[in-house]
Amino acid sequence: MARWLRFNAVGAIGMLVQLGVLAVLVKLGVHYLAATALAVEAAVLHNYAWHIRWTWKERRGRLWRFHLANGLVSMTANLAWMRLFAGWLGIPPLAANLMAIALTSAVNFLVGDRWVFSARVARTQITRAQITRAQINVAPESWLPWSPGATRAEVRLQTVSPPAPIRRERRGRGRSTGIPGTRLRAEAR
């Protein structure tokens, strides 16, 4: 229920964006259907920005999915309703658009909740860091590069001098391997 209320709050502001863009474009002389298409696009982009940050903030969504689903539903439904209300019934464009928005909002919520911001999609989009931590099951202080433990270990590694190289003595020209014409040679260091 809380998500539905957030969806409607974002939609209400998006409706104001859509109606404002439509009013300006119609006043500038743009045909009501072209103005509706541009106004819907402005509202779709506005709504996506708020849905990703507020309505479905715990889920990941993709703009292309939002455009394909909500944008397509909003565009086709609004244009169809506007053609009916403003074109055939003669209702003024702003009132007709308000009715069109109300009729498409429930479909947009269902498409957004079930596909664009799907909980199933969110569960499959686990970050690489989460997978790594889960697979090797280590304490957070051992994988966080900014942790105090890692910093102390790096300081110790930088201050410890490397071990002295191992020197081997030369013992002649090598030992026989038992195979004619071959010999093992000692490494000279």
- Structure confidence at residue 101 (pLDDT): 84
Q: How would you write 4-43 as a 3-class SS string?
A: HHHHHHHHHHHHHHHHHHHHHHHHCCCCHHHHHHHHHHHH
Q: How far is it, in rounded angstroms, from Cα 172 to Cα 185? A: 9
Query: DSSP for 40-72?
Result: HHHHHHHHHHHIIIIITTTS---HHHHIIIIIH
What's the residue count for the chain?
Answer: 189
Cα–Cα distance measured from residue 134 to residue 122, given in angstroms and rounded to the nearest whole number:
17
Helical packing angle, 2-27 and 93-111, nearest 10° = 150
**Minimal CA–CA distance to 36: which of 69, 90, 76?**
76
AA identity, residue 135:
Q
Distance (Å, whole) CA 124 – CA 29: 48
Cβ atoms 67, 61 nearer than 8 A: no
pTM comes to 0.52
**What's the one-letter identity of residue 11?**
G
Check if the beta carbon of residue 25 is closer than 8 Å to that of residue 38. Answer: yes
pLDDT at 27: 95
What are the structure tokens assigned to 148, written together?
A: 């105090």
Distance CA 38, CA 24 (A): 11
pLDDT for residue 187: 53
pLDDT at 186: 55
- Tokens describing residue 21: 């863009």
For residue 122, the model assigns a pLDDT of: 47
Cα–chain center distance at 61? 6
Mean pLDDT for each consecutive 10-residue tract of the chain (189 residues)?
Answer: 85 91 95 92 90 83 81 86 93 91 83 76 49 50 53 57 59 57 56
